[in-house]
Amino acid sequence: MLKKLAARLAITCAVAVGLIAGTGSAAFAADTWLILSDIDGRQVGAMQHVDDGDSFRVYDSLKDGYSVEGCLQAYAPRVGWTTVKCKNNDSGAGTYESFGFDVITGVPYRMRLCHALVPCAYQGFNE
């Protein structure tokens, strides 16, 4: 009885891990978005990873006199999250600044988007 229960639990865990791993696979390669909103729900900025060409766009969405900073971060097991490249959009509301970075398959990445009046937001993705 105990062996059957342990086997069922192991199968259930394996299926769950497979589903989680499958949803983040490269087969679903597409653009990734990160939206940053203030406490009232107004969008103050956005960041986009354009998968075709590995470019990143940092959008300033709100005319408030503050810039938006978007960063690309990579994860290394013994180091943790490190910032690879950043772009500050101080061009004004309704504009975007861009930068390129060759994203490597198998490395966990995340985008970080910050604004002076709003806490930073993060969005992970894999190539």
Q: What is the pLDDT of residues 68-115, one digit of tens each?
A: 999 999 999 999 999 999 999 998 899 999 999 999 999 999 999 999
Q: Tell me the three state secondary structure of residue 78.
A: coil
90 inside domain: yes
Residue 85 contacts residue 72 (beta carbons within 8 Å): yes
Whether residue 97 lies inside any domain: the answer is yes
Instruction: Confirm whether 67 is domain-assigned.
Output: yes
The mean per-residue pLDDT over the stretch 120-124 comes to 97
- Our count of domains for the chain comes to 1
SS3 label, residue 4: helix
C-alpha distances (whole Å) from 57 to each of 17, 45, 70 are 32, 11, 8
Residue 11 covered by a domain: no
Q: Say whether pTM exceeds 0.85.
A: no
- Phi and psi at residue 54, in whole multiples of 5°? 50, 60
Domain of 71: which CATH number?
2.60.40
110: its two tokens: 């995340």
